[in-house]
Structure 1
């Protein structure tokens, strides 16, 4: 699809391009500080409250807000490029911020129809969103037990979510619910610290341990009507956006794994009698292991940025005033993100396992936690089942079956 032409009077209100080096340089010292403590957080499962606080104060959450409104005006390729850098420092933090940037993206798209100055101002001041979409238990596929009801003149929210990633660190929660007053699914901007909101740190996954992905409980929380947004108004490329976050996270994991295993090889003094060199760092077979992993990491980043380019085209597509261009741009973004997921997941899972061939049994010590790269990649890759993504891609290629832009998980209806 051709690039969107930005000869439009509202261009200054878009997040289309910025000085990447200037903005990245502002955050890299924070990334370095975050990286220093990543291993200890992994060992002790210490949640990164302080580290996310550093990013919040520095304005990380406003990267996509247009410069006109006080943000950095990053394009989507620039955003995901910087997220890869952060994921290399700590992949858990990127995943914890996924819900925030999704709500920001939704408000950016809503700006075309109604002023979002209030939300933009909150983002620029540092407010962060968490995520509250998935329910576990008896809720059937396509149904929601989390409800908005009316009592007198008040609108109340009640319900429970799991996988509430990032909400424990946030000021707000991007909450999916069913509004009984209108009989439609809605997004609720839920104040994280309101009375009746409880978040449990009960996420027990073997990877991505410090993302704050536990249980969210909501009991009789009063919500203003303007904090309730019809789900049908949600930005069209949201599924592709969410998936690209996982691609950036996986790419950062890959880069960190290559860097860490390279350092282990560089400082290793023990060698095998049947090896190929006096020092492991000179052994051609070991260099081959590192070299292949490096190439796989590079491929993951290249694919992620290319997918982000298709997201940017979907973001800009409404400027064309062509429904066909808009549909094509969103199809391309959804297809690219699905294809990227299938390839990048395999690349990163392979390299985070195969890199152990560059070392020996001592690499399995829990003190080094070198298995964290595979564990983290495995968990990130499990969120959206790869087998279904492969099926969706094949069905599109062969039958042009429409791509699923929104889907839910729940109990079987049978």
Structure 2
């Protein structure tokens, strides 16, 4: 079904429906087992494999490189649709799409050409940035050491989302002198151990657990020449979370509407002989759907700002125009965080008001919408976003370019 026919509004481009139609059968197949996989804690290895085979993981690459030449708004709209099917899968691919963006913006032609070829061939990348150790903010306990003529990785990462499904881990570390090192570590390299020990109550199927690096030898071509991330990275990674929330909202809206339509039992103090005809129940369903609609529209608006930052970067990396476009994109994403988060947390809680006590049965899996939304909303805490936007509005202060976690 076209997005417009479903009432979610037009996509971000004239060609969007044709692009999305390539993947919608896969999204539908992923959706059919989402509840069962959540209850059984079965990781989506097969589901991510289907997307890889369909070249979903190459969306941003040019067609000549095996991709679809998708714009950022097209990418984010597709991530909303994927999240409607299963938000775990979107989160598991978040690092891969971020790595792809980093490659497209790389100032090193050799690095860019090499990784466009690898991504175009279907290889994928997971996350290896965050740690839970005692490193100070902006530093890492994970170290890339020089051992003779070799570079060797030692350390441990957590929140390594998607790494169990990937061919490489996008590693952020430092050398013996404390200088940043960024590399792509093969997941099957000797000394790499990936654990599925993420025990969060939401997004449980994202493989966001621990990775140990014990004497992992890095080939020189796996170390990025410039460790800096692409300029609009913070906005990009945060907007993936917001797109995921918007997709959760759509799924919740569709489920509550279907269950209300199917419901035969009514309350004596209700307003109609059928729950589907009760105007108060209809209003609840409408509120859930309206929240999801607004969240999706906000995501696409912010995605357009990221596209402007990307285009400005291509026109002149580190130019004043590119810096300005990036700062404004970060502002737009920050402005969206609290609003989208609040809309979807309200929707995934409020949907139960349209249904009876049977709606909390595990078999329906309606609780996973709130659990997943609450988990995503806990990343990069939203409590700081309004302050950042306020500082821009009042003083013209640009948002921070990077966020790090560590000891003070």
Q: TM-score, normalised on structure 2?
A: 0.94
User: In structure 2, what is the equivalent of residue 276 of structure 1?
Assistant: 271
Range with bigger deviation, 35-44 or 64-73 = 64-73
Deviation at 1:68, TM superposition (A): 2.8
Distance 1:210 1:115, change over 3 A: closer
User: In structure 2, what is the equivalent of residue 359 of structure 1?
Assistant: 355
User: In structure 2, what is the equivalent of residue 373 of structure 1?
Assistant: 369
| Structure 2 residue 152 is matched with structure 1 residue 153 | no
Deviation at 1:219, TM superposition (A): 0.8
User: In structure 2, what is the equivalent of residue 190 of structure 1?
Assistant: 185
| C-alpha contact 1:17 1:73 (8 A) present in aligned 2 | no
Q: Partners in 2 of 1:235 and 1:113 — Cα distance?
A: 14
Distance 1:246 1:394, change over 3 A: same
Distance 1:138 1:112, change over 3 A: closer
Q: Partners in 2 of 1:20 and 1:264 — Cα distance?
A: 30
| C-alpha contact 1:290 1:358 (8 A) present in aligned 2 | yes
User: In structure 2, what is the equivalent of residue 40 of structure 1?
Assistant: 36
User: In structure 2, what is the equivalent of residue 224 of structure 1?
Assistant: 219
Question: Number of matched residues?
Answer: 396
| Structure 2 residue 49 is matched with structure 1 residue 60 | no
Structure 1 runs of 4+ off > 6 angstroms?
A: none
Deviations 1:173-206 (A, max 9, x none): 111100226x421211010111111111110101
Q: Partners in 1 of 2:378 and 2:137 — Cα distance?
A: 19
Alignment partner of 1:403: what SS? Answer: coil
Alignment partner of 1:190: what SS? Answer: strand
Distance 1:121 1:232, change over 3 A: closer
| Structure 2 residue 161 is matched with structure 1 residue 170 | no
RMSD (Å), alpha carbons: 1.7
Q: Partners in 1 of 2:403 and 2:19 — Cα distance?
A: 35
Alignment partner of 1:349: what SS? Answer: helix
Deviation at 1:231, TM superposition (A): 5.9
User: In structure 1, what is the equivalent of residue 287 of structure 2?
Assistant: 292
Deviation at 1:21, TM superposition (A): 2.7
Deviation at 1:399, TM superposition (A): 2.1
Deviations 1:55-77 (A, max 9, x none): 11111110001123221100000
Alignment partner of 2:23: what SS? Answer: helix
User: In structure 2, what is the equivalent of residue 72 of structure 1?
Assistant: 68
User: In structure 2, what is the equivalent of residue 107 of structure 1?
Assistant: 103
Q: Which runs of 5+ in 1 are unaligned?
A: 1-15
Deviations 1:12-49 (A, max 9, x none): xxxx9894333322211111110010000111111001
Equivalent of 2:383 in 382, 387, 391: 387
User: In structure 1, what is the equivalent of residue 18 of structure 2?
Assistant: 22
Range with bigger deviation, 384-393 or 394-403 = 394-403
| Structure 2 residue 143 is matched with structure 1 residue 144 | no
Q: Partners in 2 of 1:319 and 1:132 — Cα distance?
A: 27
Distance 1:410 1:319, change over 3 A: closer
Q: Partners in 2 of 1:251 and 1:151 — Cα distance?
A: 47
Deviations 1:343-376 (A, max 9, x none): 1000000011011110121111122121111111
Deviations 1:58-112 (A, max 9, x none): 1111000112322110000000011111000000000000000000000001167
Q: Which runs of 5+ in 2 are unaligned?
A: 1-11
Range with bigger deviation, 319-328 or 24-33 = 319-328
Deviations 1:236-277 (A, max 9, x none): 100000001001100000000000111110110000001000
